[in-house]
Each structure stands twice: as structure tokens, then as C-alpha cells.
Amino acid sequence: MSTNRAVAYRGPGVVEVIDTAYPEFELKDGPGVHPANVGRQVRHGAILRTVATNICGSDQHMVRGRTTAPQGLVLGHEITGEVVEVGPDVEFIRVGDIVSVPFNIACGRCRNCKEGKTGICLNVNPDRPGGAYGYVDMGGWVGGQAEYVLVPYADRNLLRFPDADQAMEKILDLAMLSDIFPTGFHGVVTAAVGPGSTVYIAGAGPVGLAAAVGAQLLGAAAVILGELNEARLAQARSFGCETIDVTQGDPKDQIEQILGVPEVDAGVDAVGFEARGHGSEASHEAPATVLNSLMDITAAGGALGIPGLYVTGNPGGVDEAAKVGSLSLRLGLGWAKSLSFTTGQCPVMKYNRQLMTAILHDEVHIAKAVNATPVSLEEAPQGYAVFDQGAARNYVLNPNGYIKTA
């Protein structure tokens, strides 16, 4: 029997690399696993030897203790891997395939999956629509910041790269297909970005940077990122974006200096529920700031894409309302301006094949844009700590040595 090592949440501010069970084609009891899923047979699944698995900003919310994640939860939902075993019901995926794993788990059989709404599958999480690996309230599917991971519904969920050797040459770019690239792209698509658009993206972390790359791919005329971290703003400027330091005041005034008008065609929230204020309030958490600012900045008739995470349980919320995900929004302003809003998980499979093709044909270099930085599995705790301090990097764990580093 093979062994397995994985990254686990141990409590606020603490992650640890642990010995854990090698995956089986049956769900076992464990931290975060829904009791109704224990014993569930996964004959349709595949076991992957992990090629790359990213540390995500969404993981940081859990590690900071800002969710109801249980201690011992194995983390990781951004997975790329090599298939080493397949269940008896798998028909098309083969041992040896190099594949990308959408972070949202989709059965492919329910009404939502058949309508392309794979982020809210009805059959993978007994508590609510939508499942994911290694994440709080997402059904308890074991995370992929590990040497090996089980993926259910393999024929449906896995995106096979057409040429393994070519894939390994571009593996840092392709590793972004499991979440941040499609998620950022979904943000700008739902904000209706197109040729000649002007777009403001709040947040220059990995998803905000990925959204900026997506906006450029869609032909935006001006892509502006707002952030309070200068290193991340510099990263955005490195591939042609305009930037705004929100510690200097209202983004609206700075947008006017860039565009000549104080508004944009499209707005994207890549920050989420741990947003801070602007200007003199930038040191204080104010979770409705970004959404209210976007409603003010976005032109009448425009749209907001909201890939930033919002939760229903936030123990560290600034007030009792925030602790249950209730925010004081200027909905009247949004209504008066006829703004459209799109929230929720990105349906990764809606975009990942097309984005893969763009990568393989050198139309986009997402790893460079987000400053993808490979580290070993044992270095994960340090990667979490440095990323949490605002590093302008996207840490990619390399559990099995597939990624060759200088």
C-alpha cells in the first residue's frame, strides 16, 4: 500500500504536513466529511499522483480562522495530476493521463450539471448545492495538497491534456486551469468585458491578476487594478495594467485621472468578504466596501462580476451581521443604475478547455502574470505564511517533483 503526505489545517494560523491515508474508491470518515458521504462508493473515480497543487487565497480564509473549517481538514482544491488508478466504472480516462481537475466537483447527471452549472451540482454535497476538494462546507471531499488525491466522476471532471510532454513544458501555466484562471476569466465574462471595454478589478491577488489577463484576452482597452499592496500592484503593471493604490483614497477619483471619466464599463470584485476600507480606512476591515464602490464606479447599465469569496459563516466578522455573511449594501444604487450582478463559484468546465488551448498555443502566459512560484510540499507552511503577508506570488506545491526548478 502506498503512503501519502498532505497539508492539513490545524487551527487559526497553523498548517502542517501530515501522514494521511492513501485514497481509496470509497469515502472514509474524517475532518469535514459529511456523515451522509461516509461509505459512498466512488467506482467512477480516479486516483491521481499530484503534479501541482496551488495555495489559493480561499484557503487562506480558512487558515486565518475566518470560516467554520474543522481542524485536521486536508486542504487543496487547485489540482493537476497524473492518473495512477481508475475505478471500474471509468470508461475514457486512462492511467498515465496528465489532467487538470476543476475545483468544483460535478456529477454530470443532475439538472444543474446538465445546464452547465457545475459549480452548484446537486449530488456531491448533502448540505447544499456545490462541492469542492479540501474546503469547508463543500461535502468533505479530501483536498489535493497531497501526494495523491481521489477525484470522483473522472470521465466528467478531468480535463486531459492532449500531449503529456507538451503539458509538462507548460505545466505552471496549465496548473492555473483548476481554479484561478477560469475564476478570474469568469469574473470578467460576467462583467460583460469585451473589445474596447474599460474594466476596474478590485484586488490584485492571484484571482485579480488572472481576471486582468482574462480581460486582456477579451480585448479590453483599459484594465485597472485597485489594491493596497504595492508589490501586487507592481506585478499587475508588469503585464500592462493600470493600477490604483486604494490607500490613497476613493478609486473613483483615480479612475478619472486615468480615463478622463470617473467610471468604467465593467467592475470585478476579486477581494471578497475580508475587504478593507479605502483611504484612511484602509487599515480597517469593512466587508461591503468593494461591492459598494463597484456599484458607484460602474456605469449605468453595466455589470459586476463577483468571483471574490463570500461566506455564510465568518467567526471573525467585524460585527454580528458579518459573522453570518450579511453586509450593508447600497442595493438601491445598483438598482437605480440597472446594474447586473453575478456571484458564486465559477463553473470551471465552461472555460477550462478553451483557456487550455490558449495556453498551449502561446496566446496567454498566465503563470508569469501571477508570478507562479513552485515549492515543495514540505515548504507549504512557509508558503502559507508568506502568502498571507501579501507576497505577490502564487505558490504552487510540487509534491512529487514533477516540476523541474532551477
**pLDDT at site 166:** 95
**Structure confidence by residue, pLDDT tens digits, 290-316:** 999 999 999 999 999 999 989 888 888
**Structure confidence by residue, pLDDT tens digits, 15-54:** 999 999 999 999 999 998 888 889 999 999 999 999 999 9
- Decide which of 220 and 68 is more confident: 220
Q: Is the pTM of this model over 0.85?
A: yes
Asked if pLDDT for residue 406 goes beyond 80, the answer is: no
Proportion of the chain above pLDDT 90, given as a percent: 84
Asked if residues 355 and 363 have their Cβ atoms less than 8 Å apart, the reply is no
Q: Which CATH class is domain 4-179+347-397?
A: alpha beta
Domain segments of the chain: what residues?
A: 4-179+347-397, 181-342
Q: Which CATH number fits domain 181-342: 3.30.1280.10, 3.40.50.720, 3.40.50.300, 3.90.1150.10?
A: 3.40.50.720
Same fold, 4-179+347-397 and 181-342: no
Helix (H, G, I), strand (E, B) or coil at 142: coil
Q: DSSP letters of 217-256?
A: HTT-SEEEEEES-HHHHHHHHTTT-EEEEGGGS-HHHHHH
* Alpha-carbon torsion (39, 29, 21, 32), positive or negative: positive
298-305 and 340-342: which strand pairing?
A: parallel
**Structure confidence by residue, pLDDT tens digits, 57-76:** 889 989 998 888 999 999 99
